[in-house]
Structure 1
Amino acid sequence: MGIAQKHVSEAVTATLVHAEKPREIANPFSHMKNRYFITFAFALLATSVFCTACRQTKQAEGLIPIPDKTAYSSSISALLDEYRFIPLSTTDENLLGRIAKIIKYNNKFYIASDHKRILVFNADGSFSHRIDRLGRGPQEYTELADFDISNDRIFLLGFRKVFVYSLEGMFIKRIDLPYNTLKLQTIGNDLLIRSNKESLFYRIDIASGESKDLRIGMKQSTRIDEDNCFKPYPDGYLMQEGFSTTFYHIASDFSIEELNLFSDDRFFDEQTENEYIREHGSSYDEHTTKEYIGSCAGWQNQHLYQIQRNPSYEKVEYLVADLAARRIDHKISPACDDDVSYMGLSDLFKYAHKGSSPDGFLTYLRPAELREAIRRHGDDGTQHYRWMREHILDRIRDDDNPVLVEFRFKPTAG
């Protein structure tokens, strides 16, 4: 069902800084002034080595340079490698309410709905089954705070408990916890659980249920963003520190390091900066917070970051980063049109942070809004519009159920 799009020709360029070789000094001990000169030269060399080491340390911490000039594509489809829509089949038994999380596993979509149940859909959107063990029995949960899937088992986080079920919903075991929890992630044979205390995490052995405090290396006062918690990262996961560009990296061996992903604050293009200055004055930096990452989504190869100036500033830009290759693949501004769903960038990316797919980004669109956007666009005679009419509008039977969108961006060279 994938539709290939045109490739982007712009590549991210890197700037190399070359240092001059130090001038050679003949007979350095022949005169007193040469003694002072060589002392100065050694001091300068030591400073240069120290600065170089600092730069290398920063690079090792995960900094990715943002290109000064990035050409924005006029349409979102020009940036995408492939995308597909999956309208979900609906019945009275599988109506979806508020979607908390989506996981694609073994070509099925597992969707947490209303913090009560997990509805499972096949790759074509047809309904498969539901996992609904809501109750107060020993094999039942009273709330669905979070879930993850690993080794053909579902790990469901309830109130002070982790329930382990089969993919079909059969009970396997329960792990009791002595603390309140918010988020859960499987790492190997262990669980990583975020407590409701901001910087407190626990590593739990799945077999024994024993836990260990993971506060070491993390600030006690850190506010961990709930939506940007446990995002895939090379060798581990990322967790954002509040409204900032600072993240914590928890590696597969459970070591923790603090890092900033981007090397400078030049997120916005010149036109957007000038518009902001006209609206807020030339000294806006003195009165507003710096840029921060509002939300992020990720899969194995790419991350999508929404950059904002401050919570009251409506204009955003998006960075598509390949963290493994240490590069920015795309920089997308609000001026880039969405000709994929016709709903606009903010609506297309609104729920991307709730989805997870090994094949690309995963988001969802509300059918009533999607239907209106397609009709408002009008029939332009293109094959894409006819495809949207035939495969989307004609298949939507209930406005209470979303259409899943799976997509990925084209990688850039270098």
Structure 2
Amino acid sequence: MKKWYLQNMILGLGIGFLCFGCQEIRMKNRPFPTVSLDSITVIPVEEDKFEIIKVTNNIKEPVPSSELIEEFHYVPLETTDESLFAYCTNIGFYDNKIYAFDRLGTEKLYIFDNKGKFLKALGEKGGAPFEFYLPKAFAIDTKQQQIVIYDNQKRKWMKFSLDGNYIASHDVPFRIGRNFQILPNGEYVTATDKGDRNNHLGQYSEYKILYTDSLGHLKKAACTYSETVHSSLGYDPLSRKRDEILYTPMYLNEVYTVTDTALYMRYKFDYSDFTPFEKNKMGTFESYDDFNNYLLAHTYLFIYAENDTHILFVTCDKQDRRFVSFYDKRSKKTVNTAGFYYDTDFSMEFSSGIYSYNDYFVALVPPTTLKGLKQHIDEITHYSAKEENMRLFENIKEDDNLVLVFFKIKNL
């Protein structure tokens, strides 16, 4: 199947260059819709009430998974010719469906039911209203019950029903480098940075959070700090916890709650036991090498996810050394560890994104990892494994889609 996919991808790329090259150039040079800068409201950033999470340098060697994992289950995403994706750069959950987005490989959004059965893919290439040039990000509009996909070539919000049927599209008056989310009131919240080069927005190009209505009209802006194009975002800074939208500005070791009236600092991570990234350095980097050398010598929050009971975050320390932390929001206790070693049939990786779903965290697991876990279980017989998990490990193929693992953390 992988061979089939690669052959067709190469063929598709060749045809795409021939058929759409001139159209793509025109799309890149297309002017932005007019923005009335006088009508934009700056909303405040409140930093007077927040919780400090102290991250100590007491980092455990890899711990047994049974020591921290309370409960877990796997959901394999069905693999067919139509559902096979190359990467998964974002996951969403809504309406008993799983939405898996691949913006790097196939450039499609895949819809599965909550058991992992494939339902539909969105991402046909072309110039028709329902087709894409370069889909960049997606979000679920719970107010309108719609999927919204941003196309970075067309520079449009493209709207679909939750089942994947095209509805309409609207112009977006700025570039989006990473992701966006949609508030319960229907406003679209977008994270930007200097690398997006939205200079046509004048003073508002300095703001990191931009709000539009569902028609694409720029309404509000929030959050400024000095930066250069060399310190552009390396991951999606907006995430969800149920109906809350959280903003994690990269390198700044802070987390905010985003509302329609203000940004509220939620947590501040204290890395004083390390060498924390300094906020006032963000606007001083004159080259990427300058920025990268500084990055490798400092400590910063790299991955953040929050569910109802815990926070799971990955810290990037000097020379790109990483460790994972689990913070219990009730007991206020933190466990820092270099990772897991497996004494159960649970497996996950911390190198990709971590997501939350109610009181679960959700991670992506490659089939090869599960194959390796089965071999480990077969060789180490002092613990048991669930029968359904062993069947999954036995039957999954190495070139199948990624598997989701839903897991809960024990009380700390």
TM-score, normalised to structure 2, is 0.68
Match for 2:90 among 91, 95, 101?
A: 101
Deviation at 1:75, TM superposition (A): 1.1
**How many pairs are equivalent?**
328
Q: Which is worse superposed, 196-205 or 93-102?
A: 196-205
1:166 aligns with 2:161: yes
Partner in structure 2 of residue 319 of structure 1: 325
Match for 2:125 among 122, 131, 134?
A: 134
Deviation at 1:242, TM superposition (A): 3.2
Partner in structure 1 of residue 311 of structure 2: 303
> For the structure 1 residues 322 and 143, does the alpha-carbon distance in structure 2 shift closer, same or farther, using more than 3 Å as the test?
farther
User: Matched residue of 2:89: which SS?
Assistant: strand
Instruction: List per-residue Cα deviations over 1:17-44 (Å, max 9, x = no partner).
Output: xxxxxxxxxxxxxxxxxxxxxxxxxxxx
1:252 aligns with 2:259: yes
* Pairing of 1:6-85 with structure 2 (within 5 A): 60-65=49-54, 74-85=63-74
* Residue identity in the other structure for 1:163: M
User: Matched residue of 1:385: which SS?
Assistant: coil
Question: Does the aligned pair in 2 maintain the 1:293–1:306 contact within 8 Å?
Answer: yes
Question: Does the aligned pair in 1 maintain the 2:247–2:258 contact within 8 Å?
Answer: no
Deviation at 1:191, TM superposition (A): 0.4
Instruction: List per-residue Cα deviations over 1:260-295 (Å, max 9, x = no partner).
Output: 623453479xxxxxxxxxxxxxxxxx9974431122
User: Matched residue of 1:227: which SS?
Assistant: coil
CA RMSD of aligned residues (A): 3.4
* Residue identity in the other structure for 2:338: P
> For the structure 1 residues 390 and 204, does the alpha-carbon distance in structure 2 shift closer, same or farther, using more than 3 Å as the test?
same
> For the structure 1 residues 200 and 127, does the alpha-carbon distance in structure 2 shift closer, same or farther, using more than 3 Å as the test?
same
Match for 1:337 among 324, 337, 341?
A: 341
Question: Does the aligned pair in 1 maintain the 2:211–2:220 contact within 8 Å?
Answer: yes
Deviation at 1:190, TM superposition (A): 0.6
Q: Distance in 1 between matches of 2:51 and 2:125?
A: 42
Question: Does the aligned pair in 1 maintain the 2:77–2:401 contact within 8 Å?
Answer: yes
Q: Which is worse superposed, 159-168 or 137-146?
A: 137-146
Q: Distance in 2 between matches of 1:288 and 1:130?
A: 39
User: Matched residue of 1:60: which SS?
Assistant: coil
Q: Distance in 1 between matches of 2:70 and 2:407?
A: 8
Question: Does the aligned pair in 1 maintain the 2:55–2:271 contact within 8 Å?
Answer: yes
Partner in structure 2 of residue 265 of structure 1: 272
* Residue identity in the other structure for 2:49: A
Deviation at 1:94, TM superposition (A): 1.4
Deviation at 1:70, TM superposition (A): 8.8
Deviation at 1:363, TM superposition (A): 1.3
> For the structure 1 residues 334 and 65, does the alpha-carbon distance in structure 2 shift closer, same or farther, using more than 3 Å as the test?
closer
* Residue identity in the other structure for 2:190: I
Any gaps of 5 or more consecutive residues in structure 1? 1-56, 269-285
User: Matched residue of 1:394: which SS?
Assistant: helix
1:291 aligns with 2:299: yes
Deviation at 1:166, TM superposition (A): 0.3
> For the structure 1 residues 294 and 258, does the alpha-carbon distance in structure 2 shift closer, same or farther, using more than 3 Å as the test?
same
Partner in structure 1 of residue 358 of structure 2: 358
* Residue identity in the other structure for 2:118: F
Question: Does the aligned pair in 2 maintain the 1:131–1:168 contact within 8 Å?
Answer: no
Partner in structure 1 of residue 403 of structure 2: 403
Q: Distance in 1 between matches of 2:295 and 2:366?
A: 37
Question: Does the aligned pair in 2 maintain the 1:342–1:374 contact within 8 Å?
Answer: no
Instruction: List per-residue Cα deviations over 1:135-182 (Å, max 9, x = no partner).
Output: 211232212211111323101111211111001111122120122113
Q: Distance in 2 between matches of 1:168 and 1:233?
A: 23
* Residue identity in the other structure for 1:365: V
Match for 2:107 among 116, 121, 134?
A: 116
* Residue identity in the other structure for 2:138: F
* Residue identity in the other structure for 2:150: L
TM-score, normalised to structure 1, is 0.68
Match for 2:188 among 165, 169, 191?
A: 191
* Residue identity in the other structure for 2:188: L
Q: Distance in 1 between matches of 2:114 and 2:303?
A: 27
> For the structure 1 residues 313 and 102, does the alpha-carbon distance in structure 2 shift closer, same or farther, using more than 3 Å as the test?
closer
Instruction: List per-residue Cα deviations over 1:193-248 (Å, max 9, x = no partner).
Output: 23424744321111x4321251x44214275634241133698433333334234x
Q: Which is worse superposed, 87-96 or 330-339?
A: 330-339
Partner in structure 1 of residue 202 of structure 2: none
Deviation at 1:403, TM superposition (A): 1.5
Deviation at 1:371, TM superposition (A): 0.4
> For the structure 1 residues 135 and 58, does the alpha-carbon distance in structure 2 shift closer, same or farther, using more than 3 Å as the test?
closer
Q: Distance in 2 between matches of 1:99 and 1:287?
A: 26
Partner in structure 1 of residue 227 of structure 2: 221
> For the structure 1 residues 384 and 227, does the alpha-carbon distance in structure 2 shift closer, same or farther, using more than 3 Å as the test?
farther
Deviation at 1:322, TM superposition (A): 4.7
Partner in structure 2 of residue 381 of structure 1: 381
Deviation at 1:121, TM superposition (A): 1.8
Q: Distance in 2 between matches of 1:307 and 1:254?
A: 30
* Residue identity in the other structure for 2:156: K
User: Matched residue of 1:392: which SS?
Assistant: helix
Any gaps of 5 or more consecutive residues in structure 2? 1-45, 198-205, 276-293
Question: Does the aligned pair in 2 maintain the 1:115–1:144 contact within 8 Å?
Answer: no
Match for 2:148 among 147, 155, 175?
A: 155
Deviation at 1:68, TM superposition (A): 8.8
Question: Does the aligned pair in 1 maintain the 2:74–2:389 contact within 8 Å?
Answer: no
Q: Distance in 1 between matches of 2:61 and 2:332?
A: 13
Question: Does the aligned pair in 2 maintain the 1:322–1:329 contact within 8 Å?
Answer: yes
Partner in structure 1 of residue 134 of structure 2: 143
